[in-house]
Amino acid sequence: MRSCEVRIAGTDTKFVQDEQEVCLLRAALRAGVGFPYECNSGGCGTCKYELVQGEIETLWAEAPGLNERDRKRGRRLACQSRAKTDCVIRLRPSPEYVLKLTPRRFEARLISADRVTHDMREFRFQAPDAAQFLPGQYAMMLLPGVRGARAYSMSNVPNGPGEWCFYIRRVPGGKATSRLFDDVRVGETVLIDAPFGYAFLKPESPRAIVCIAGGSGISPMLSIARGAVLDPRLAGRPIFFFYGGRTPRDICGEAELKALPGFGERIRYFPAISMPGHESEWQGRRGLIHEIVEQELGNALSQYEFYLAGPPPMAEAVREMLAMKNRVPIGQIHYDRFF
Ligand SMILES: Cc1cc2nc3c(=O)[nH]c(=O)nc-3n(C[C@H](O)[C@H](O)[C@H](O)COP(=O)(O)OP(=O)(O)OC[C@H]3O[C@@H](n4cnc5c(N)ncnc54)[C@H](O)[C@@H]3O)c2cc1C
Ligand code: FES
């Protein structure tokens, strides 16, 4: 595959997709173009564009980010497209999508895989150089024998020694997670391209921090909480950490938060389960996590900065409760949906 030049119609913006580049979206982001995106995984549809001229290879034709109407109108997903020739494409770039750190591709060696819950493990990888990312961002991981990269959010904070940590939930029958949990051994390497995502910690915000996680959404929320504790601009800022699971065996995060200074005072943890039953094992909060957030923080929700991560239905329910019902400005809600 040769290098291809891609121009955005009606603008002076162009970028090069080099021989190693996996897709148009990452080529654009690496070149500093504000290409709208969210999941990098074919699920959300944010990276839609139209091809004006040139030839494109589609990487995942069935990607759910496009519906029938999009397909009929000739729309494509930049995260599932690779240029085969020089191209002209149509979309509206926006400065808010310009990455603050340029993503890099590197090999990382698995150094440990420890149990977190019955279906979640913490995977720690060692990279050759410093781990540069913003708390809350994610990496694209390419596993041997698995088509397409998967997004995983870091649970740790940027660090000099080059450690990248991820909390990953095994998806029954899932291709990448089966490979990671069953086949990748300590000492083996995977390919990482990172960092991506814009739901990162905003130290310039004057508001108290609320982290809301469902399932493996715990990973970036731990990174946000850890990053907030380390950032002198956020010294003393309260952190409210909400975690939703279906049953008691899904609940995690307390031990990690307890290890941070200020747990129980500055940092408060609110776990909840959503499935009925389990009376003997669980005497804590019950309900969907967006209901718990509203119950605990009351109706003055506009005074907080919200970070959320987890399955799309959970993220939508929280966003709707905050933005529609309680009129929290959309600029105070930062989220990643885990497609
Ligand atoms: C921004 C973001 C952050 C995430 N962070 C985490 C995290 O920290 N921890 C965690 O456990 N999970 C996370 N996920 C979910 C994760 O990326 C995977 O979807 C999940 O691990 C299931 O992968 P699987 O291959 O096992 O399952 P599968 O069912 O085999 O695949 C699921 C996903 O892989 C992608 N996919 C499937 N087929 C293809 C293909 N042919 N080409 C390209 N892509 C394909 C799609 O996005 C699909 O939803 C995140 C997702 C996103 C979008
Ligand atoms: S960024 Fe391409 S579909 Fe989500």
pLDDT at 1 over 80: no
Closest residue by Cα to atom 52, ligand 1, is 338
Question: What atom in ligand 1 is closest to the CA of residue 154?
Answer: 8
Is any ligand 1 atom within 6 A of the Cβ of residue 242?
A: no
State the average pLDDT over residues 48-54. 97
- What average pLDDT is seen over the chain? 97
240 touches 224 (CB < 8 A): no
Pocket test for ligand 2, best of 37, 76, 82, 196 (most atoms within 8 A of CB): 37
Ligand 1 neighbourhood includes 166 CB (under 6 angstroms): yes
Q: What is the pLDDT of residues 95-105, one digit of tens each?
A: 999 999 999 99
Return the pLDDT at 291. Answer: 97
CA-nearest residue for atom 28, ligand 1, is: 174
In three-state secondary structure terms, 155 is coil
Alpha-carbon Rg for the chain, nearest whole angstrom, is 20
Q: What is the reported pLDDT for 2? A: 84
Query: Of the ligands numbered here, which is closest to the C-alpha atom of 77?
Result: 2
Q: Binning pLDDT at 50, 70 and 90, where does residue 66 land?
A: very high
- Does residue 269 line the site of ligand 2, with CB under 6 A? no
pLDDT tens digits along 103-146? 999 999 999 999 999 999 999 999 999 999 999 999 999 999 99
pLDDT computed for residue 299 by the predictor: 84
- Asked if the model's pLDDT at residue 244 lies above 90, the reply is yes
At 10 the pLDDT is 95
Token readout for 149 is 């990269």
The ligand placed nearest to the CA atom of residue 45 is 2
- 11: Cβ contacts below 8 Å, ≥ 6 apart: 93
Q: Whose CA is closest to 55, among 17, 85, 23?
A: 85
Distances (CA, A) of 61 to 20, 64, 81, 197: 21, 9, 9, 23
pLDDT attached to residue 93: 95
Please name which ligand lies nearest the alpha carbon of 35: 2
> Span 14-23, mean pLDDT?
95
pLDDT value of position 247: 97
What's the pLDDT band for 162 if we cut at 50, 70, 90?
very high
Average pLDDT over residues 51-72: 96
pLDDT digits (tens, 9 = 90+) for 280-315: 999 999 999 999 999 999 989 999 999 999 999 999
Number of Cβ atoms within 10 Å of the Cβ of 116: 19
Q: What is the mean pLDDT of residues 28-46?
A: 97
